[in-house]
Amino acid sequence: MFELRPYRRNNNNQMSYNPFREMEEFEKKFFDDPFDSFFRSADIAEFKTDITDQGDSYLLEADLPGFDKKDIRLDINNDILTVHAERHSEHEEKDKKHKYVRCERSYGQYSREFDVSMIDTDKIKAKYDNGVLKLTLPKKAAALPESKHLEIE
């Protein structure tokens, strides 16, 4: 099941850890609007998935509550499956500022990528029901080892 790990592009030439980044982000958020940053959740940029091995296929279940089916897009490009969901705001900014006491529901774009090089992408089936996206990902047929006889010249 190693082929279904989330796909990440890492650039080894850049330093990935900046010990001051978290402090800078905290200061920026807190001093811009202390009340808003108190209620802000930092873990809204990514949706959670479960992947189970069903024998001849994998079952990928992604929690996408509150999305319409039309706002979820599945794309496959170069053996990378991208699950992209976008939630639109129903309210204008002026209404948020004057009427809301607290607004925690998040709006924006969410995306995850998975390596599907070992999946038969022509047979993938997708279903969205009760806030859960279910993808049935059939495994490619295992290539049988080829045996050959070589003649000596």
What is the reported pLDDT for 46? 72
Q: What is the pTM of this model?
A: 0.60
Residue 101 β-bridge partners: none
- Whether the per-residue pLDDT at 9 is higher than 70: the answer is no
Mean pLDDT, the chain, as a whole number? 76
Handedness of CA 106, 80, 141, 127 (dihedral sign): positive
For 117-141, how does the pLDDT look when each residue is reduced to its tens digit (9 = 90+)?
A: 899 999 999 999 999 999 999 998 8
- Whether the per-residue pLDDT at 14 is higher than 70: the answer is no
What is the reported pLDDT for 40? 40
3-state helix vs strand vs coil in the chain, percent to 5: 20, 30, 45
